[in-house]
Amino acid sequence: MHSFPRRAITKEKPYRINFVCLGNICRSPTAEGVFQHLVMEDGLEEYFEIDSAGTGSWHVGNPANSKSQDIANQHGIRLLSRARQALASDLEYFDLTVAMDHSNAADLQAMAVKDEHEEKIVLLRDFDTDPGDGAVPDPYYGGMDGFKNVFDIVYRSCRALLDTLKTDVIR
Ligand code: 4NP
């Protein structure tokens, strides 16, 4: 697994995670909603602060794509976020920035002004037990199968990410 910033996670200093894709309407809102759901299932909501963003600005203010919402809803998960564009200052604020694909990661790396910021950028599939080519494929121009595939990848990877971070939680 890729190394990433670890620290003690407490109620006083929750771990801040930002999931990032291109539009912030398909993949990263799914990751935000799934990770939040898993955190709540594990009773850890006071220990994590979760957000998402897009490197592009086309969809700012929009809710998640209806296909992304439908699949999440089928799994009892609601996607409530509105799209926002990723900011350079996000790399300072968040402990970890989780990119959906290599292009998102490269765009984020270009926003980093400190080595410390670059070290905070990882790929979601760095945590996947079945990482494929390392990317969560962009489902935007495809059909329902692509969105289902995204949900499965995101769910599996978020579960593994949370299992790793849980070992840093000090209750
Ligand atoms: P996302 O999907 O990055 O998973 O939110 C996309 C959404 C919109 C566009 C591309 C990808 N777009 O080109 O508008």
Please tell me the distance between residue 27's alpha carbon and the centre of ligand 1 in angstroms. Answer: 8
151 vs 71: CA distance, rounded Å? 7
Task: Specify the CATH number for 15-166; select among 1.10.1740.10, 3.40.50.2300, 3.40.50.1470, 2.40.30.170.
Answer: 3.40.50.2300
b/e for 55-83, b at 16 or more Cβ within 10 A? bbeebeebebbebbbebbeeeebebebeb
DSSP class of residue 170? -
Please tell me the distance between residue 166's alpha carbon and the centre of ligand 1 in angstroms. Answer: 31
pLDDT at 41: 98
61 vs 68: CA distance, rounded Å? 16
* Ligand 1 atom nearest 21 alpha carbon: 3
Question: To test ligand 1's pocket by mutation, which of 138, 147, 148, 153 has the most ligand atoms within 8 angstroms of CB?
Answer: 138
- Tell whether the torsion through CA atoms of 144, 57, 94 and 14 is positive or negative: negative
Q: pTM (2 decimals)?
A: 0.98
Please tell me the distance between residue 133's alpha carbon and the centre of ligand 1 in angstroms. Answer: 19
Query: Tokens for 80?
Result: 């409530």
Domain range list for the chain: 15-166
Return per-residue pLDDT of the chain as tens, 171 residues: 668 999 999 999 999 999 999 999 999 999 999 999 999 999 999 999 999 999 999 999 999 999 999 999 999 999 999 999 999 999 999 999 999 999 999 999 999 999 999 999 999 999 999 999 999 999 999 999 999 999 999 999 999 999 999 999 999
55 vs 162: CA distance, rounded Å? 24
